[in-house]
Chains A and B, each alone.
Chain A
Amino acid sequence: MPLFSFVLRRILQMIPTVVFILVVTFVLVRLLPGDPASAMLGDRAIDADVQRINASLGLDKPIPVQFLYFLKNVFIGDLGTSIALKLPVTTIIMQRLPVTLMLTLMAALLALVLAVPLAFIAALKREQTADALIRGTFQVGLSMPVFYIGILMLTVFAATLKWFPVGGYGETFGDRLYHLFLPALTLAFSFSAVLMRNLRSSIIGVINAEYVDFARAKGLRPRIIMIRHVLRNALISTVTLFGLQIGTLFGGAVITETVFAVPGAGRLMIDSIYGRDYPMLQGLTIALAVLVSLTFLATDIFQAWLDPRIAR
């Protein structure tokens, strides 16, 4: 039962985190210079229109009053109406967040598929040509900006070789996976570099541990030693890193979504900041905060499974 109470504890810890993020977001967006009506109407706005629109949005009320209204509505699951898109925030989030989620998941999977085997090869062939080659290639991935990798991928694999569409988002599920492959690969490139380097050094550390020597002396088969003893122990720090990096991956998605014209939550977030679309911004932040917290939770659970001492 220690795992169950551990999970319960972690879920309870999530609540104050999300509430804290809620308050900070609510206050911060209102501290930004400018207001939704001015941002919406632009340079041509005349005072009367700005006041009329801000009043219709309830923004003429004191901030604490606005916050109470907001809290009340959040509790009944109403995140308000987007000022720019004039649709319920929850409707838009349900449309856009799954896109980013799918993109991030695909990128994470691709990153794992790339990083784990290559980290093994690099660790086992330490300081040999294969190791240098693998590390060198990932170093390039790590040092190139995401938008540049994106444009390169589009130019080579989409526009020239025509293996993939040049950006956009398909209509059926399969079509969407196909459209998201290149952007996911772009994201995965730098992500897997971080994972690969970390996993490689962990494997090198573990491979020389005494319990591995013992397992070898016991006569266990090399594959069993690698999977049960080396990988399981080497993964612990990589899983932490993986969880933490998922948050960064959401951030990278903003740029990738723009370059690949993917209608995800990242682009929506940027547009909402520029447009001072308070309800949209608050809604998105809550959704992302919950998602990232859930990722951390999953990371912790996985870690506890890898190393049961953590849950105690």
Chain B
Amino acid sequence: MKKIAKAALAAVLLVGASLSAAAVERGGTMTYGRYADSLFLDPVLNDANVDIWILSNLYDTLLLPTDDGKGVQAGLATEWKVADDGMSVSLTLRDGIQFSDGSPIRPADVAWSLKRAANKDNGIWNFLVSSIDDVTTEGEKTVVLKLKHPDPAILAALTVFNTAILPQKVFEAAAGATDADKAKAFAEHPVSSGPFVLQSWDRGSTMKLVRNEHYWGKGEDGKPLPYLDGVTFEVLPDDATRILKLNSGEIDGAEFIPYSRVEELKSAGNLNMELFPSTRVQYVTMNARPQIKGKDNPLSNPKVRQAMNYAVNKDAIIAIVTHGVGKPLTSYMSSATPMHTGDKPLYAYDIEKAKSLMKEAGFEKGFDTSILVLAGNQDEIGIATALQQMWAELGIKLELQQVDNATRTQQYRDGVFTMRESAWTDDIADPNEITSYFVYSPTIDALHTGWKNEEADKLFDASQKEIDPTKRAAQYARIQEIYNGDGPIVPLYETPYPVALSKKVHGFLQIPLGNNFFGRAWLDK
């Protein structure tokens, strides 16, 4: 019976696949409205999502993330094997791969690119591949990564933008004395390994990508990818303008649709309002130090933090701020992050419990405190105003301090903030990045809150070298249990990426890590 069911399923999938294969159309340029322009197109030295989220269209990696963002699949490498002792990874390169200038992608380019990514002096992403000790080549097709210690996240790291493969000779021939100078020169006219090549870039206005004729990917029709002749990014910082431009047909897609417009665009006949699953979590960070600037800090008491958590009606905030687009968090990490545990919303609203916890903590009458809010940001102001009212029930007087981002970052890094609002998105399909920042105290003092838990720190250290997936999952389950119980945050909600696309756009994908993939996108004629 099972076999028949499987065969039936296979048949359905085959028919589906052939139908869609017949439907694919080639050619055309897709115009995509972005909220901000990119800054710097070097995979290793960039530092912002505006770069990261489009880089994979230009530069290919050895492995690619799966569409759900949780696993890996073949990229420039077709086979990969982690040694039994976990101390090395050997990868076999795909046959006939070439850079956009037609030169072959050699193991030497791969070794050089990975060593550059792992170099401690280069950029801020080298921690993702800090386990790499050396990279060697064997013959024409094999690359071997020698590791300092077993690294369970090494395969996921090989899908991340900073491990993209660049042509060593072209990069080194670029003008400039240092790696940073060469990167500046190279990134102006990069030689690509991904599905597209940079054609022109009018900063602050438009960026044009055209198809890379040498890309290895094959489409559903058996011909080379990408389907599109090109992608044009238009920088449209104003939300209303971006949507007007989409509605008038001047662009084919628009990112970061405000939550308040999602319902309206869902019912628009000419658009598909996509909500791509994401790893984005929204939360409030609480400074857990006993004293801030010489004053006693009630937030250092775990019971106070728990009370404040129970007093927040997350469903109400989700309704007010995200217009119902978000959902409550079930752990500090998003449900799209691998090894996430938890099926119940954290701290379901319970005002009585909150009050009794405040009493136990000795703060029956509440206290005065403050929160840093990004000036002019409607979502943040909305959340803070809601918190102000909700916490007033506990006698807590919350002062809203509106500041700009750099000011907030400074207070945050100095550990002198009281509370702040934050959002987080993963860059790697592994829980280690978010956990190292949120939980593990050596990285940045658990979000600069001064919170520290010996057991969680030890578990994290162990999990970074644990190659048995079951054991590692158990470590992460315990870390989440500890942090979700008395961690220094108020988890608010997770939200998808709201992207509106013209009905003629097909195959566009934004994965949970945020990367926009145009390689399989195509347009109706």
Contact = CB atoms under 8 A, between A and B. Distances in A.
Interface of A: 32-35, 38-47, 49-50, 52, 56, 84-87, 92, 95-96, 151, 154-155, 158-159, 162, 165-169, 258-261, 263, 267-268, 273-276
B403 to A, nearest CB: 8
Interface in B215-266: 234-238, 240-241, 244-245, 247-248, 250
A89 to B, nearest CB: 13
Contacts of A34: 405-407, 409-410
Given A43-B409, A43-B422, A261-B237, A159 B244 contact: yes
B369 interface: no
Contacts of A275: 406
B250 A166 contact: yes
| Residue with the highest number of chain A CB atoms closer than 10 Å, among B236, B240, B406, B422 | B406
Contacts of B240: 151, 154, 259
Contact of A154 (B48, B203, B244): B244
Contacts of A46: 124, 443-444
A42 B204 contact: no
Contacts of B184: 86-87
Contact of A158 (B236, B244, B409): B244
B36 to A, nearest CB: 8
B241 A167 contact: yes
Given A40-B48, A45-B409, A85-B203, 6 more contacts: A32-B407, A39-B406, A158-B248, A167-B236, A168-B236, A169-B202
Contacts of A273: 404
A95 B240 CA distance: 26
B428 to A, nearest CB: 13
B407 to A, nearest CB: 4
Interface string B190-210: 000000000000111110000
Interface string B5-18: 00000000000000
Majority-rule SS of A interface residues: helix
Given A33-B406, A44-B437, A263 B244 contact: no
A236 B324 CA distance: 58
Contacts of A276: 406
5 contacts: A42-B409, A159-B248, A166-B245, A258-B238, A261-B236
Contacts of A47: 413
Contacts of A49: 124
A43 B248 contact: no
Nearest to B406: A34
Interface string B379-421: 0000000000000000000000000111101111100000000
B39 interface: yes
A283 B247 CA distance: 38
Nearest to B183: A86
B238 A259 contact: yes
Contacts of A274: 404-406
Given A151-B240, A158-B244, A95 B203 contact: yes
A39 B47 CA distance: 10
B8 to A, nearest CB: 48
B80 interface: no
Contacts of B48: 40, 42
Nearest to B424: A43
A85 B437 CA distance: 27
A44 B124 contact: yes
B40 interface: yes
B121 interface: yes
| Residue with the highest number of chain A CB atoms closer than 10 Å, among B205, B244, B245, B437 | B205
B39 A84 contact: yes
A84 B124 CA distance: 15
Nearest to B437: A44
A263 B34 CA distance: 13
Contacts of A50: 413
A155 B39 CA distance: 30
B406 A86 contact: no
| Residue with the highest number of chain A CB atoms closer than 10 Å, among B180, B187, B240, B241 | B241
A168 B33 CA distance: 11
Nearest to B246: A166
Contacts of A263: 202-205, 235
A167 B407 contact: no
Contact of A38 (B202, B203, B413): B413
| Residue with the highest number of chain B CB atoms closer than 10 Å, among A34, A85, A165 | A34
A225 B245 CA distance: 50
B203 A92 contact: yes
Given A44-B437, A158-B244, A38 B204 contact: no
Contact of B409 (A38, A92, A166, A169): A38
A40 B244 contact: no
B241 A260 contact: yes
A84 B404 CA distance: 17
A32 B241 CA distance: 31
Contacts of B205: 168-169, 261, 263
Contacts of A158: 244, 248
Contacts of A52: 121
Contacts of B248: 158-159, 162, 166
Contacts of B204: 96, 263, 267-268
A42 B250 contact: no
A303 to B, nearest CB: 36
Interface in B416-456: 422, 437, 443-444
A255 to B, nearest CB: 9
3 nearest CB pairs, A to B:
A34-B406, A263-B204, A263-B205
A85 B40 contact: yes
A275 B404 CA distance: 10
B413 A45 contact: yes
A88 to B, nearest CB: 10
A233 B230 CA distance: 59
Contacts of A259: 238, 240-241
Interface in B16-48: 39-40, 47-48
| Residue with the highest number of chain B CB atoms closer than 10 Å, among A45, A56, A96 | A45
A36 B356 CA distance: 45
B488 to A, nearest CB: 14
A50 B407 CA distance: 15
A155 B248 CA distance: 10
Nearest to B39: A84
B43 to A, nearest CB: 14
A171 to B, nearest CB: 8
A45 B406 CA distance: 12
| Residue with the highest number of chain B CB atoms closer than 10 Å, among A45, A166, A275 | A166
B144 to A, nearest CB: 29
A56 B187 CA distance: 20
Nearest to B433: A44
Contacts of B250: 165-166, 168
Interface string B30-71: 000000000110000001100000000000000000000000
